[in-house]
Amino acid sequence: MFGARQTGKSTLIKQVLPPDALVFDLSQPAQRSRFLADPQELIRICQSLPKKDPPLSIFIDEVQAVPELFNAIQSIYDNDKTGFRFILCGSSARKLRATGANLLPGRSILHRLHPLINEEYEHNPGWLGQTLSPLPLPNETGTQNSVAPFPARTLENRLVFGDLPGISCLTDDEDRREVLKSYAAIHLEEEIRSETSIHHWPAFLHFLGLASASSGSMLNFQGISREVGVSAPTVQAYYQLLEDMYVGFSVPSYSGNPRKAVVSSRRFYFFDLGVRNAISGAPIDESAVRLDPGHYFEQWVGVELFRKLSYLGEGQLYHYRTRGGAEIDFIVRRGNELIPIEAKWTSNPTMKDARHLATFLDESQGAAKKAYIVCRCPLPQQLDERIVALPWQML
């Protein structure tokens, strides 16, 4: 399981581990140093353990700190496929890719944990069970999750402080503000320092501020290069570093309409709005959102869609903009189906808000059958036979 820091990976895994599980935390210097010096020690430990049914669970946290452990785990598994169950957790793929670490292809299942999504918050009970969302998550049990949801928060509060579990558990906004500042100054910057050797640290910090301030915009390597004072390829490498550390993701342009000339640049989004706000230096309070609510809201919708596609394990998120100026915030592709989605701050959506959606539906040659406006309307509305206005809580 991989994901950015503070998304709750270790907490979640420890809640479901059996009581007799063996736990190694490589964020602790002593354990990390021991395995760095001798990764084969894990093999000897497993050889000494008695066989159990069900197999013994072994949880290794921050596994990216010792990439050589993946080879040891493969050796253990290949010699005894039923003796142990390994749960590996990490907050960066940077070192693993740089060292060419063995990621156990064919022997492992990869999961990614994100900040909270709508389904993890308390909601109006009257909406439970409705499936109007373009990306409904499966409910395997047929009942509501037995785990207590996180307390409901206003949309504005989530746009300001984001959706990290630790932030959502706090009740005081000043505490949330201080935790986010600490995350930006300590967790993020220090982890980046430990992950890679950046030669121009002041330039990188300048880049980080610009990248966060322009989150949701099209990537402009040349423009940021001139602003920061490093080469465009270096800026591109900086963005890749953020993706490797699960701090952000890029959204490609949809170019599947042969009738239209489209803008091909990718957009980049930070993984959480609260972290983005803290890094950008913008005021971390609702006054900043009120100055440009649509911009914040569009980012939130994109991040929510990205998280849900990740959990569904299928689909691709795109943006769409023609050189003639027609623009759709997001297009989801699932198999052969296209789902165009607009984010609008309005609470009274009309077909005027959906004009680009209607055009795209007409020109999609049947690939897109339904479109959505995600907005602040109190209840769902059918704007026409193909376009639904959806309350943001139901996305």
Please report the domains of the chain, with CATH numbers, ordered by start residue. 9-98 (3.40.50.300), 121-394 (no CATH)
Q: Evaluate the omega torsion of the peptide bond into residue 54 and state whether it is cis, within 30 degrees of 0.
A: yes
What values do phi and psi take at 218, rounded to 5? -70, 140
Cα gap 98→162, rounded to integer Å: 31
96 sits in which H/E element: helix 94-98
Q: Which of 381, 371, 383 is nearest to 342 (CA)?
A: 371
Cα gap 249→170, rounded to integer Å: 27
Q: How many CB atoms lie within 10 A of CB 362?
A: 10
Cα gap 250→247, rounded to integer Å: 11
Verdict on whether the full-model pTM lies above 0.75? yes
Cα gap 164→7, rounded to integer Å: 6
- Amino acid of residue 334: R
For residue 111, with 0-12 CB atoms within 10 Å meaning exposed, 13-18 middle and 19 or more buried, which class applies?
A: middle
Q: Going residue by residue through the chain (395 aa), what tens digit of pLDDT does each one get?
A: 999 989 999 999 999 999 999 999 998 999 999 999 999 999 999 999 988 889 999 999 999 889 899 889 989 988 988 899 999 998 887 766 655 556 666 678 889 999 999 989 987 554 545 567 888 887 654 434 445 689 999 999 999 999 999 999 999 999 999 999 998 887 777 777 776 667 788 888 899 999 999 999 999 999 999 999 999 999 999 999 899 889 999 999 998 765 665 777 899 999 999 999 999 988 899 888 999 999 999 999 999 999 999 999 989 999 998 877 789 999 999 999 999 999 999 999 999 999 999 999 998 889 999 999 999 999 999 999 999 999 999 99
